[in-house]
């Protein structure tokens, strides 16, 4: 393949009369995210047109409530995927966190100790996987698969059945309602998810760490030669994903006021799917947290539509997500090929 | 007169790898504000010297002083901090990031930990403007040509540290106008007092741009010369350590056989063959024993044309005849069955499998054409491989050596051997001599001439006009993805003539 030779020598002659490219290829990197946004809007307005009450603000607000865990996990996954990696352990980390939280609370630990402890544990597990990936040059797929088994194993070891949480603080957080407007209420979990998204987006766009994440995904060898802290960043990214998963687990335990070792099975795949639908390139180097958020919204909106329809099998969610994944992967291919 | 004191001085550098002395007491110095070419064949120790200088390798002896102080680099970061920056042949930037980011990543201007994008873009634009490069710094790097990418890499290197700049084969992927642009930048940096170490296989470029040069051979210092005082022929002799008569032979030979091929049967005839977006429809006939040269700038469609003939891309117009019969090549396998072989230009990415041995690499294509269910007996393999290692003088002559440990020229020979053992009737070679040293180049050219003498047709794709002229019976000139002229390679045809064709009728 002639890759480089064939590149049209854009802007070779530096002249201001060269805005053509900027017009018909507005910004290649935004195409996937714009496609997702368009899809989301189409889905939303189709729902509004077809179902009564679909247009109420609570439908949108509830999307955040119902998918808070997935949003938080997808944020961590976004960082990992942008570096060109993958984290399969997140679902298991969620189950480990919920089980541990419930067990410790049941044992009478103060909630303000349990909360940082489980978040730290998730982060440490992520850090461990990151270290293995970096220092032993292990494929992220394998390292985090090991993490998956480990975390799920720990969860099942602690307790195989569902453990109720009776702690006051947890109960209070679960029941606390935030009134956004008349008749529109939300919960702490959704607010947390939104805050996580905002912080993560700022970190990716405006910090050296965030830019290093992109650089590593673009070309790790180059990043190293440019003097960037590749190892540190990689480990940090898995740590962050572990933290997000643990936080997701905490949100889960708040939502359900229980812990269960079989919680969050397959959630890692939902998170990956959300990222991909949101335009995060699986090969790394490209993507946005807001894209992943949109991906989760697409996911949630499909479920909402199915609920509103009433007579559809829930399996349709997966079928549609499957089709969308195909569509977006092909779109990514087309877009990246055009950019070359 | 008094030379300025050197900014960099390396004395008695020694570097040993298991079984090999890569550098043996080499001295090297760089003066501020000069362009210094480091010359030598592949394996002479150029890369090792550069890696020592950039801290990739430790040294086993000798010392390095930078700006009068002795230094001991333990990694690329330290050497960069001390003022030594390197731009490699493969641009080591992140093409998914913007131009501005590529220049400043790791050193972004920040306020309270937050990257100041506006300031960063402004500084990047100013920096590039000083290099006469006015491009949109907020566009991602992959929207620009390789030449621009290279210049961005240089801008980064210069901005990081402006004392010593190492350019390792920066021109090997650039076309003539891009090289000119690069040289303008190099001269400007030189005027600013930057010491530039320049490595290139193109002698003309070395003579055009460098002030002094240092020649290495087999890990030893041959000498340091003023470029103006050393004629090209002498330089080549110093590099390879023997007189180069092979090239003279070739001149007559191609004259000699030209008559012969005129009445030979055509092997391949393309009529109006083309592929939208790759190459406009062209007519081309290749006879038995004929060397057809494809000349043109990078991106002019040379490789695209070759790929059509090999079935690597599907033609969407015109027809192709092989041995007088109409054929449609649906895949490279189909072409191979009809006796066409294609040796790719990217030996690293498309041809050579570095982890496999010389033997396995050579056997590959023949095995593929037999089908994997009928393995070639080991004894037969050894026989064939030995024959070609001898015939092509592949060094080291060890069939079990991993190919990635061979020099570029020898890798190229392995690749050629792979196709030659399939006994093709038409061999398409794309840029066989790019990035390999003078001696190996001559050997490969000689080999092409011999193959053609033996009746094999060769389609020879090369960016070097001299080489095309020396070998070809007939030259196809490409411009803007169009075959614009076919020239019989007669007395009157020279590089200028071809350049005219390439240049004339250009869109401006």
Residues B190-202: tens digit of each pLDDT = 998 899 999 887 7
Q: Which of A17-31, A290-304, B188-202 has the lowest mean pLDDT?
A: A17-31
Token code pair at residue B225: 């010369």
pTM metric for this prediction? 0.71
B19 pLDDT band, cuts 50/70/90, is low
Nearest CA in chain B to A2: B303
Q: Per DSSP, which regions of A108-189 are E strands? A: 163-164, 177-181, 184-187
With contact defined as beta carbons under 8 Å apart, do B86 and B52 qualify? Answer: no
The residues in A 247-286 lying below 8 A from B, measured between CB atoms, are 285-286
Q: Are B403 and B356 in contact (CB under 8 A)?
A: yes
pLDDT for A2 equals 33
Average pLDDT, chain A: 87
**Residue B86 maps to a domain:** yes
pLDDT on residue B260 = 52
Residues of chain B with Cβ-Cβ distance to A14 below 8 Å are: 132-135
Q: What is the pLDDT of residue B42?
A: 66
Comparing B178 with B503, the larger pLDDT belongs to B178
Q: Cα distance from B288 to chain A (closest Cα, Å)?
A: 27
Q: Residue B387 and residue A45: Cα distance in Å, rounded?
A: 73
Longest dimension (CA), chain B: 78
Residue identified by tokens 């603080």 is A169
The reply to whether B133 and B249 lie within a common domain is: no
Question: Which residues of chain A neighbour B101 with C-beta distances below 8 Å?
Answer: 211, 215
Rounded Cα distance, B460 and B457, in Å: 10
B254 pLDDT exceeds 70? no
3-state percent helix, strand, coil for chain A, nearest multiple of 5: 70, 5, 25
Question: How near does any CA of chain B get to the CA of A91, in Å?
Answer: 30
Q: What is the mean pLDDT of residues A173-184?
A: 87
Peptide bond into B396 cis (omega under 30): yes
Among B215, B240, B265, residue at a domain's last position: B240
Per-residue model confidence (pLDDT) at position A13: 40
- A208 contacts B135? CB cut-off 8 A: no
Same domain, B291 and B440: yes
Q: Please give the average per-residue pLDDT across B167-173, as a whole number.
A: 80
Q: Do B409 and B431 fall within a single domain?
A: no
Dihedral of the CA atoms A175, A178, A184, A186 (nearest 10)? Answer: -60
Question: B152 and B196 in one domain?
Answer: yes
Q: What is residue A295's three-state secondary structure?
A: helix
pLDDT of residue B256: 45
Question: A279: helix, coil or strand?
Answer: coil
**B56 shares its domain with B163:** yes
% of chain B at pLDDT higher than 70: 90
Chain B positions in Cβ-Cβ contact with residue A20 (cut-off 8 Å): none
pLDDT at A94: 96
Domain shared by B317 and B461, yes or no: yes
Domain ranges of chain A: 29-43+54-339
Q: Is the pLDDT of residue B384 over 80?
A: yes
Report whether pLDDT(A69) > 90: yes
Query: What's the Cα-to-Cα distance from A135 to each of A128, A149, A251, B256, rounded to whole Å?
Result: 10, 21, 32, 62
Give pLDDT, residue A193.
96
Residue B469 maps to which CATH number? Answer: 3.40.50.300
Q: Do B108 and A211 touch (CB under 8 A)?
A: yes
Q: B434 with B409, same domain?
A: no
Domain enclosing residue B504, as ranges: 244-339+425-445+455-508
Answer yes or no: do B202 and B317 share one domain: no
Q: What is the pLDDT of residue B349?
A: 59
Provide the number of structural domains found in chain B. Answer: 3
Q: How large a percentage of chain A has pLDDT more than 90?
A: 65
Cβ-defined contact of B94 to A215 (cutoff 8 Å): yes
Question: In chain B, which residues have their Cβ closer than 8 Å to the Cβ of A10?
Answer: 143-145
B1: in domain: no
Determine whether the interchain pair A207/B94 forms a contact, defined as Cβ–Cβ distance below 8 Å: no
B127 and B76 in a single domain? The answer is: yes
Higher per-residue pLDDT: B6 or A247: A247
CB contact under 8 A, A6 and B304: yes
Q: Are residues B335 and B186 in the same domain?
A: no
Share of chain A above pLDDT 70, in %: 90
- The pLDDT, as a whole number, for residue A15 is 40
Q: What is the DSSP string of B427-477?
A: EEEESTTTT--HHHHHHHHHHHHHHHHTT-EEEEE-S-HHHHHHH-SEEEE
For range B418-426, the mean pLDDT? 85
Question: For residue A70, which of A222, A273, A285, A339 has the smallest C-alpha distance?
Answer: A273
CA torsion sign for A142, A147, A148, A150 is positive
- CATH (residue range A29-43+54-339): 1.10.3470
In a domain, B156, yes or no: yes
Are residues A28 and B140, on separate chains, in Cβ contact within 8 Å?
Answer: yes
Report CB contact under 8 Å: B350, A1. Answer: yes
Q: In this predicted model, what pLDDT tens digit does every residue of A73-127 receive, in sequence order?
A: 999 999 999 999 999 999 999 999 999 999 999 999 999 999 999 999 999 999 9
Q: What pLDDT band is residue A216 in, cutting at 50, 70 and 90?
A: very high
In this prediction, residue B404 has a pLDDT band, given cuts at 50, 70 and 90, of confident
pLDDT digits (tens, 9 = 90+) for A114-149: 999 999 999 999 999 999 999 999 999 999 999 999
Across the interface, of A11, A206, A339, the residue whose CB is closest to B148 is A11
| A221: contact with B, CB 8 A cutoff | yes
Decide if pLDDT at A152 tops 90. Answer: yes
> What is the per-residue pLDDT for A111?
94
CA–CA separation, B175 vs B499, rounded Å?
13
Range in A316-325, B101-110, B239-248 the model is least confident about:
B239-248
pLDDT band of residue B430 (cuts 50, 70, 90) is confident
CB within 8 A of B126, min separation 6: which ones? none
A12, B97: Cβ pair inside 8 Å?
Answer: no
| Chain A residues lying within 8 Å of B298, measured CB to CB | 5
Higher-pLDDT residue of B385, A245: A245
Contacts of B156-159 with CB under 8 Å at 24 or more apart are: B156/A226, B156/B85, B156/B93, B156/B102, B156/B103, B156/B104, B157/B85, B157/B86, B157/B87, B158/B85, B158/B189, B158/B194, B159/B103, B159/B104, B159/B127
Rounded to whole angstroms, the Cα distance separating B168 from B38 reads 9
What are B199's two structure tokens?
Answer: 């490595």
User: Between chains, do B96 and A285 touch, taking CB under 8 Å as contact?
Assistant: yes
- The neighbour count for residue A201, using CB atoms within 10 Å, is 19
| pLDDT computed for residue A127 by the predictor | 97
Q: Do residues B206 and B286 both lie within one domain?
A: no
pLDDT of residue A105: 94
The reported pLDDT for the residue numbered A108 is 92
- Minimal Cα–Cα distance from A15 to chain B, Å? 7
Q: What is the pLDDT of residues A35-47, one digit of tens each?
A: 889 989 999 999 9
Q: Given an 8 Å threshold on Cβ–Cβ distance, is B92 in contact with A14?
A: no
Least confident of A202-216, A263-277, B451-465: B451-465
User: Rounded distance, CA B257 to CA B472, Å?
Assistant: 11
The residue of B91, B92, B94, B99 whose CB has the most chain A CBs within 10 angstroms, and thus the best one to mutate to test that interface, is: B94
Check whether residue B98 and residue B208 sit in a common domain: yes
Share the mean pLDDT of chain B.
Answer: 82
């Amino acid at each position: 393949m002639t890759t480089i030779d064939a590149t049209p020598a854009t802007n070779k002659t530096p002249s201001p009369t060269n805005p053509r490219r900027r017009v018909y290829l507005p910004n290649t990197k935004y195409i996937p995210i714009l496609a997702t946004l368009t899809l989301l809007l189409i889905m939303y307005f189709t729902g509004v047109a077809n179902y009564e009450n679909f247009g109420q603000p609570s439908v949108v607000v509830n999307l955040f409530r119902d998918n808070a865990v997935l949003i938080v996990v997808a944020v961590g996954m976004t960082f990992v995927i942008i570096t060109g990696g993958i984290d399969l352990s997140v679902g298991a980390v969620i189950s480990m966190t919920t089980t541990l939280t419930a067990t410790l609370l049941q044992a009478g630990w103060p909630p303000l100790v349990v909360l940082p402890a489980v978040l730290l544990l998730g982060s440490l597990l992520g850090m461990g996987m990151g270290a293995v990936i970096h220092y032993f040059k292990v494929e992220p797929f394998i390292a985090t698969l090991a993490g998956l088994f480990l975390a799920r194993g720990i969860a099942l070891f602690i307790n195989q059945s569902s453990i109720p949480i009776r702690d006051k603080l947890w109960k209070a957080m679960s029941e606390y309602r935030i009134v956004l407007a008349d008749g529109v209420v939300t919960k702490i979990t959704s607010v947390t998810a939104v805050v996580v998204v905002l912080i993560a987006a700022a970190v990716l766009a405006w910090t050296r760490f965030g830019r290093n994440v992109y650089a590593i995904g673009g070309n790790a060898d180059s990043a190293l030669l440019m003097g960037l802290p590749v190892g540190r960043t990689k480990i940090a990214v898995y740590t962050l994903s572990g933290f997000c998963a643990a936080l997701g687990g905490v949100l889960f335990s708040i939502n359900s006021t229980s812990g269960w070792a079989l919680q969050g099975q397959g959630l890692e795949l939902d998170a990956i799917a959300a990222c991909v639908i949101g335009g995060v390139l699986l090969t790394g180097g490209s993507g946005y947290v807001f894209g992943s958020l949109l991906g989760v919204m697409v996911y949630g909106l499909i479920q909402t539509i199915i609920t509103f329809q009433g007579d559809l099998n829930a399996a349709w969610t997966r079928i549609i997500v499957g089709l969308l994944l195909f569509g977006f992967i092909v779109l990514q291919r087309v877009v990246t090929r055009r950019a070359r | 007169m008094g030379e300025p004191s050197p900014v960099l001085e390396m004395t008695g550098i020694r570097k040993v790898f298991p079984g090999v002395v890569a550098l043996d007491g080499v001295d090297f110095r760089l003066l501020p504000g000069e362009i210094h070419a480091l010359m030598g064949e592949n394996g002479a120790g150029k890369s090792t010297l550069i890696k020592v200088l950039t801290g990739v390798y430790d040294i086993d002896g000798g010392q390095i002083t930078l700006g009068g102080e002795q230094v001991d680099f333990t990694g690329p970061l330290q050497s960069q901090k001390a003022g030594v920056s390197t731009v490699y042949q493969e641009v080591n930037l992140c093409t998914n990031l913007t131009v501005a980011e590529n220049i400043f990543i790791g050193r972004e201007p920040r306020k309270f930990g937050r990257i100041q994008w506006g300031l960063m873009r402004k500084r990047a634009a100013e920096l590039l403007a000083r290099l006469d490069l006015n491009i949109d710094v907020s566009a991602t790097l992959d929207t620009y040509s390789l030449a621009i990418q290279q210049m961005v890499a240089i801008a980064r290197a210069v901005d990081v540290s402006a004392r010593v700049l190492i350019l390792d084969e920066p021109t090997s992927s650039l076309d003539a106008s891009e090289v000119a642009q690069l040289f303008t930048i190099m001269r400007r940096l030189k005027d600013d007092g930057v010491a530039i170490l320049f490595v290139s296989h193109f002698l003309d470029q070395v003579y055009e741009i460098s002030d002094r040069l240092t020649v290495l051979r087999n890990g030893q210092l041959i000498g340091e010369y003023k470029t103006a005082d050393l004629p090209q022929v002498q330089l080549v002799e110093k590099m390879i350590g023997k007189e180069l008569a092979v090239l003279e032979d070739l001149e007559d030979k191609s004259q000699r056989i030209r008559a012969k091929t005129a009445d030979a049967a055509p092997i391949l005839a393309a009529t109006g063959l083309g592929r939208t977006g790759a190459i406009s429809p062209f007519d081309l006939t290749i006879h038995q024993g004929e060397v057809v040269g494809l000349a043109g700038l990078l991106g002019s469609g040379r490789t695209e044309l070759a790929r059509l003939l090999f079935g690597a891309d599907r033609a969407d117009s015109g027809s192709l005849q092989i041995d007088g019969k109409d054929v449609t090549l649906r895949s490279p396998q189909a072409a191979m069955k009809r006796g066409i072989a294609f040796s790719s230009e990217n030996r690293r990415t498309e041809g050579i499998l570095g982890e496999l041995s010389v033997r396995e690499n050579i056997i590959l294509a023949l095995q593929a054409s037999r089908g994997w269910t009928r393995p070639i007996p080991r004894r037969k393999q050894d026989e064939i491989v030995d024959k070609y290692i001898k015939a092509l003088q592949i060094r080291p002559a060890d069939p079990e050596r991993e190919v990635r440990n061979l020099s570029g020229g020898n890798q190229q020979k392995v690749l050629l051997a792979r196709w030659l053992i399939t006994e093709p009737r038409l061999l398409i070679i794309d840029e066989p001599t790019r990035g390999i040293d003078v001696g190996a180049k001559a050997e490969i050219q000689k080999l092409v001439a011999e193959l053609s003498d033996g009746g094999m047709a060769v389609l020879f794709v090369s960016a070097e006009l001299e080489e095309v002229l020396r070998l070809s019976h007939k030259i196809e000139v490409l411009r803007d993805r169009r075959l614009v002229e076919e020239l019989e390679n007669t007395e009157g045809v020279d590089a200028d003539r071809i350049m005219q064709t390439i240049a004339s009728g250009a869109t401006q």
